[in-house]
Structures are given as structure tokens and as C-alpha cells.
A and B are shown apart, each in its own frame.
Chain A
Amino acid sequence: MAEPTRKSFWEAMNTIDRRIIFLILFIVVTIPMLLTIGGEIPPTPPVQQAYDAVEALEPGDILMVSIDFDATSAPELMPMLKSVLRQAFRKDVKVIMLGHIAIGLPLGHMALEQIAQEFGKEYGKDYVDLGYRPGYIAVMIAMGREIGDIFATDYRGTSIRELEVTKNVHSYKDIKLLFGFEHGGVLDYWVRYAQARFGQKMTFGTTAVMAPDAYPYLQSAQIEGLVGGLKGAAEYETLVGTTGLGTRGMPAQLWAHVLVIGFIVVGNLGYFFTRRQRSRQGGDA
């Protein structure tokens, strides 16, 4: 009976059980997350621009916050959202929240209530949650003429004309800045309809995957700034002066990236060596 051929080192590496890869990733991400690590993350220009856009608001100005993400993107976008709300409430800016992703809006609502309580803000007087209306393009265009036609009431069913924040808000002209938190294509529609047609000033926080989609708008000055991914969230937290999940997630992201780069290098080395080995064996035969 022929002896089974022994696998070479690189062949063995190429056919490694994927569960070992999963385990290594789990360890590399979990351990840094369990350690409380602070530190400042130097802001990049797009994040600084987004921060400056909110910082330029005066007390009493209206900031509209759009929740266009769900739980799948919450780890990246919730830290940004909380930092923006802290910055806004610190400056006594009024916040109006709405959203185009129904399943994600409760996340935004929870963050709004949590941060409002930190600053002693009152619902109706300092902030309002308008909730969700279907048909996001129609909503965006209709808000350019009269917000009350689409959002006659807030999420509780109270008329917006009875709430101090929204009683005199009729269209984008009354909103100084829109800050959208995006994980999908809604960002394009905001720029297309609210910015291009009505000239609404806006800035965005996006997932790292979506950030490249927003760079053309940033370069053409259609948006004021861009906070991209967990690193963007960490930079924004540094600017606002807090340490949240964004900053605490940086070590985990660092090691996960190093790990993926290592996997790519080792995987390709294995590919080249086994290919060379096979071509040598084929030549010998």
C-alpha cells in the first residue's frame, strides 16, 4: 500500500481549519475591548469640518438629525450620534430628530433621551422626535416646502405646532444644519433633493464602507463635513472631549486590521509557495 504523501508546511497552512481563523479573530477583537483604554485620536480634516459645522451653530438654532441606520451599523454610528447630541445640547442648540429607516429610529430615540437627560433638557422645549414617515424621497422634497404637511405630529401624536421647538419650523429655511447618520444610499437622496434643490446645509456620519460614497460631495463642498467609520467616531469624541465606544474600539480595530493584513500576506505566501512547489513537481515528473 502506498504511503500517504505528507503535506508540506505551506499546503497545511493553506488548508487550515477556518474555525482556527475565527478563533484568532475573536481573541484579537475581544481582549482589547475588555481593557479600558483611553487616549486622544487626532482628527482628520473631514471630521474637523463636521465638528466645526455644528460648533458654528448659535444657541436656539435648529439642528435636524436624521437616523438612517439600524442595529447592524450601530457600533459605528451610535458613538458619533451621542457625541453630536452632546455638542449640540452643550451649545443649547435645539434638536429635531427624524429617520428614514424605521427599524433604526428607536436607537436614535434612545440616544436622544439618554443625552437629553444628561444635560437636563426638556422634550418639546429643547428637542423633538418627529418619528418616521414612509417614502423617503417624497418626505425630503415635501419638507422643502412645508414640514407640517408630512410631519403633522411628532412620534407621540402631538401636533408640531404645539411644541416650542417646532412651532415655527416650516421648511429647510428654518433648519440651520442637517446631520445625517447613514449606513446606506439615503445619503445620496439627501444631497440630491435637500441640498441640490433647497440648499440645505448638511453634514454626515457614515459607516466606513459608505464613507467613500460621500467623498465626492465633500470635495465639491455640497456637504460641510464627513465623519467616517469607527475612527471618525473616535476623532469626533476627542473633539467633543468624551471617551465613548468609538475611542474604546480603536485598539480592537487596530489589531483586527493588523490581523487581516497578516492573513492576506500569509495566505498569498502560501499560494505562491504551493504553486511553485507544484510546478517543480510537474517539471520533475
Chain B
Amino acid sequence: MKRTVPLIITFVTAFFLVVSFFIPHEPFGALEQRMLVWFAIVSGFTMLLGVDSLIRAHTRQFLRFKPGWTQSLALIIGLIVTVVLGVVGRVKFGSPFHLQSPFMFVYTYAIVPLQATMFALLAFFIASASYRAFRTRNWVATVLLVSAVIVMLWRIVPSGHSISPFLDWLGEDAIMNTFQMAAKRGIQIGAALGAVSMSLRIMLGIERSYLS
């Protein structure tokens, strides 16, 4: 029963949603809409579950002084401060996203710079990798590097003009609009077929990994 009931629910719900795609009229259309709203509500609750799991794991880390407990403490403090400021913003300004709210102050001067800094570090690692790791060891690597150099040169605009019309053609028409698009299409079609196959397996109860 523990496995059979969820499998039946999965099959019936999935079948119903697939039929609704092809029959948008009543009652399918309205029922599909209702289920989509439920999906959004359940997604919100999964976020709450995620926060709960995060708090439990890091509180355990902090209380037992395991390695990295200072980072866990910083995370918990950051979480509490953000929630409190969000509530203050909601009560005082009607929304935590009001530009004068304390939440937006913390967002603008702490969260955004921290996120941007972490991502900006990638630029340095790419520069280091380009010098130390990008080696033309074989013809495939050589083609990859030459394409990368052409695309980088194509994106350069010195003095408001591109370097040459031939480079524009090479970068845009030859590489972006032909070779990479063909490869991208193949990958997207393959991924879509894989998703269809996996969805059918889940609907029919063949794939049950989500139950464990």
C-alpha cells in the first residue's frame, strides 16, 4: 500500500494533465488550472522544508563545534537577520522590497556585493586556466581553442567598429549560426527525448526512485 497508493496518484495526475494539454475545455481546463495553483503552493512548502533542513543541519554543526561551526553560525545569524528585517519591512513599509526598507538596505549592500564577488572570482580562474590548462594536445582541442579565439575576437569592438567583416561572418554566421546551433539543436532534442522517456517511466511506475 505504501508504494501502490503514490504510484496510482502519480499515474492518475500525470494522465489527467497530459489529457488537459490536448483538451483545454471544461472540466479539464479548470481542473488543470486548479492543479497548477496547488503545484505552486506545494513548491512554496518545499522551500520551507529546505529552510528547515538547512537550519537543523547548521544548528547541529554549531552546537557540537564541528569543523566549520563558525560558518554555520554566520549562516544562522544571516538567516535570522534577513527574516527579521523582511518582517520589519512588511510591517512598516507594506513590503520588504520597498526601497527604504531595512531588508533592501541589507540586500543592496551585503547580499548583492557578496554574490557578485563570488562570481567575479571566476574571471581570475579562467585567466589562470587559459594560461596553464588550455593546451592544444590534439586536433579536437586545437579546433576548440581556435573557435574560442575567433568568438572572443568577434565580441571585441575597438573604437566602435568590429575588427573586420570577415571576422563578423566567421563568428556570427559560421560558428554561432551554423556549427554551434547544429550541435545545440542535437543536444536539446536529445535532452527532450530523454525527458519524455523518463516522464513516461515515472508515469507508468517503472521509475520509482522518487519514492525512496
Q: Which residues of A line the B interface, CB within 8 A?
A: 14, 16, 18, 21-22, 24-26, 29, 39-42, 44, 70-75, 103, 105-107, 109-110, 113, 129, 131, 133-135, 137-139, 141-142, 145-146, 149-150, 155-157, 188, 197, 208, 212-213, 215-216, 219, 229, 231, 234, 250, 253-254, 256-261, 263-264, 266-268, 271
Contact = CB atoms under 8 A, between A and B. Distances in A.
A70 B115 contact: yes
24 contacts: A21-B128, A26-B124, A107-B112, A110-B99, A133-B40, A134-B44, A135-B42, A139-B36, A139-B40, A142-B40, A145-B24, A149-B37, A150-B37, A155-B97, A212-B176, A215-B176, A219-B177, A219-B181, A254-B157, A260-B126, A261-B149, A261-B152, A267-B135, A268-B136
Interface string B135-179: 110000000010011001101111111100000000010001100
Which A-B residue pairs are the 8 nearest by beta carbons?
A135-B43, A134-B43, A71-B115, A72-B119, A138-B39, A263-B131, A135-B40, A142-B36
B127 A215 contact: no
B211 interface: no
Contacts of B42: 135
Contact of B40 (A18, A138, A231, A253): A138
B201 interface: no
Given A18-B128, A254-B157, A260-B127, A109 B97 contact: yes
A106 B99 CA distance: 9
A42 B132 contact: no
B128 to A, nearest CB: 5
**Contact count band on B:** 35 or more
A267 to B, nearest CB: 4
A157 B94 contact: yes
Nearest to B122: A72
A141 to B, nearest CB: 6
Contact of A142 (B33, B136, B184): B33
B160 A22 contact: no
B36 A141 contact: yes
Given A42-B161, A106-B107, A215-B180, A253 B155 contact: yes
Given A139-B40, A188-B188, A260-B126, 16 more contacts: A24-B127, A39-B159, A39-B160, A42-B161, A72-B119, A106-B104, A129-B97, A146-B33, A156-B94, A212-B184, A216-B188, A257-B152, A257-B153, A260-B127, A268-B145, A271-B136
A258 B136 CA distance: 19
B127 A25 contact: yes
Nearest to B148: A264
Given A106-B104, A216-B185, A264-B149, A254 B94 contact: no
Contacts of B108: 110
A75 B149 CA distance: 23
A254 B37 contact: no
B116 interface: yes
A58 B133 CA distance: 52
